[in-house]
Amino acid sequence: MAVTEQMKELEETLIIRNRKGVIMWKVRDYQQEGWMASGPLINLIMGKHIDIVVSNAAANPTLDHILAIEESSLDKLWEINVKALILLLKDVAPYLCKGSFVILISSVAGYQPGQSMSMYAVTKMALLGLTKALAAEMSPNTNVNYIAPRFVPSHLLRSDPIRNVIKNQILFNKLGTTSDMGAAAVFLASDNTSY
């Protein structure tokens, strides 16, 4: 939730969707202000406006090659990594205010797929296409951007030898952090990106 921590300073209404489907929101209206984990989204935003949407949800249930993936894993990859985001944006679009931001946090795997994460990489490339399409459809009222980091350590990979292999492939010889992603999202949701 580093993005949430970075964005708490903003004075906007914010929706953040994480990999578990939990939607964190900060609402700004006349009656209340605060951070909450949501249930049904539409009940939360009824009568309010939204300034920023950040989606960091992703799943990779398999390391199988594309042609060996079970249909259930293929469905899960597509449902979580692409379809759920489209449905979320469909729900919140009527509440996005003029000057709002949509930020999709994806992966460099979309550009450089590895053999063990091929279908995951396909869904991340789909997010790039989705970002371009949404930017065209939602402008000039909403600015849509995409962050494609390299490997950012998480609970998914605790193996130091594998982390070191990945780190040695990066020019700065450093792994990204969730705080790095939060800072990038804050920048993309600022007036510095108005052009």
Could you list the active site residues? 120
73: tokens are 């894993």
Residue with tokens 């010889």: 173
Q: What is the rounded end-to-end Cα distance, in angstroms, of the chain?
A: 28
Radius of gyration from C-alpha coordinates of the chain: 17
| Helix or strand holding residue 178 (H, E) | helix 178-188
The backbone torsions φ and ψ at residue 190, rounded to the nearest 5 degrees and listed phi first, read -110, 170
Task: Identify which of 16, 12, 52 has the alpha carbon closest to the alpha carbon of residue 29.
Answer: 12
The CA distances from residue 79 to 21, 75, 82, in Å, are 11, 6, 6
- C-alpha to C-alpha distance for 119 and 117, rounded to whole angstroms: 6
